[in-house]
Amino acid sequence: MSERGVAPMLHGEIPTLFEAPHSQDYTKDIILLGVPHEGILVADRHTLYPPGSRPPETFYARFGADKAPDAIRQASVIYSLEHEGGIAAEVDFTNISERLKIIDAGNHTLEGAEDVSEQVGRSDGITITLGGDHLVPLPLIRGKQKGKPERLSVLIFDSHLDLHPSPPLWAGSQWRTLIDEGYVRPEDIIIVGPRGVRQSNHEIEYAREHNVLIIPLRQIDDQGISPVCKQIASRLQSVDSVYISLDIDVVDPNFCPAQKYPDAAGLNPREILTMIRKATETVPISGFDLCCFSPRYDEGQRGALLAARFALEAIYARLRH
Ligand SMILES: [Mn+2]
């Protein structure tokens, strides 16, 4: 049995994610980071509040995703790599620390995250990022594609399409911006889990015209997970790697109440973990983020624990390759 070291702290009472060493060495295999950015808020269907504003809270205008990275770090101690290096039962009891060099690079702005991601891409590592709102994957994918350009699929778990054409730097138009900037092809965007009535006609029209693959929750209900995993794998055949972006609102709020835009009766966590596993058995993972987690709505850290578990699955995905 190895000795348990003194917990590496990021700042104050906040440990690093999985108690990985705190470092800025971007040549490692996995760079964990937080991007506590929350920008434009939604007042109602037709009104957006600008970044930095704190409007009166309504069911539409929930906020607090800027507090997510540190809240998830606190819960992640249950998955500490200090525990014998992290022996992953789900990956044939592989010792994670013997196979991968993992650091927590702390919290960054959008601009800082793009720079980190570019450096990480250049040395063939991956970023695992805790948002922030759903604009966060934009600089990460941009940076990764600048550092290591390749044909990249973005596998998105979200109850919303986020295919609005504008404003370009908003957590509702990030995929269109990435497509328009030429970093990703629309046919390489896969959106799993849309449900509910918070959708727009122009988004679904864009998806159909440009061959974005959309797998609504209803299709998963009808077919089960296995055919859906095959459909995702078949779309991944033509790409070099897959970047996974998880909006926590795809999860049933009973498993994670800490959501900016909750919607009842969503996916259960193990369905999502299975889809992530199957996708990353098909092609290598080139990055992961988890967004729209709002800890002020959490209950007894159960949402934060689940968020940490999803980030751990991204480590497993890298381990499998
Ligand atoms: Mn969403």
Q: Over 60: is that where the pLDDT of 112 sits?
A: yes
Q: How far is CA 316 from CA 19, 34, 228, 242, 279, in A?
A: 16, 19, 21, 14, 12
255 CA from centroid of ligand 1 (Å):
16
Tell how far the Cα of 165 is from the centroid of ligand 1, in angstroms: 16
Beta-sheet pairing, 9-11 with 14-15? antiparallel
CA of 247 to the centre of ligand 1 (A): 5
pLDDT digits (tens, 9 = 90+) for 18-34: 999 999 999 999 999 99
Centre of ligand 1 to C-alpha 220, Å, is: 17
pLDDT value at 307 more than 90:
yes
Mean pLDDT over 50-77 rounds to 90
CA of 32 relative to ligand 1 center, distance in Å = 22
Determine the average pLDDT of the residues in 246-270: 97
Cα of 161 vs centre of ligand 1, distance in Å, is: 7
What fold characterizes domain 9-319? Answer: Arginase; Chain A (3.40.800)
The CA 158 to ligand 1 mean position distance, Å, reads: 5
- The Å distance, Cα 261 to ligand 1 centre, comes to 7
Sign of CA dihedral 64, 69, 72, 74: negative
Q: Cα(89)–Cα(318) distance, rounded to whole angstroms? A: 15
Check residue 3 and give its pLDDT: 57
The string of pLDDT tens digits covering residues 47-58 is 899 888 888 888
Q: Which of 169, 22, 51, 35 is nearest to 113 (CA)?
A: 35
Q: What is the mean pLDDT of the chain?
A: 95
User: What average pLDDT score do residues 180-186 get?
Assistant: 98
Predicted local distance difference test score (pLDDT) of residue 229: 98
pLDDT above 70 covers a percentage of the chain that reads 98
pLDDT band at 5 (very low <50, low <70, confident <90, very high): low
User: DSSP class of residue 269?
Assistant: H
pLDDT at 244: 99
Sequence ranges of the domains in the chain: 9-319
**Would you state the pLDDT for residue 184?**
98
Query: What distance in angstroms lies between residue 250's CA and the mean position of ligand 1's atoms?
Result: 7
In this prediction, residue 133 has a pLDDT band, given cuts at 50, 70 and 90, of very high
Ligand 1 centroid to Cα of residue 31, in Å, is 25
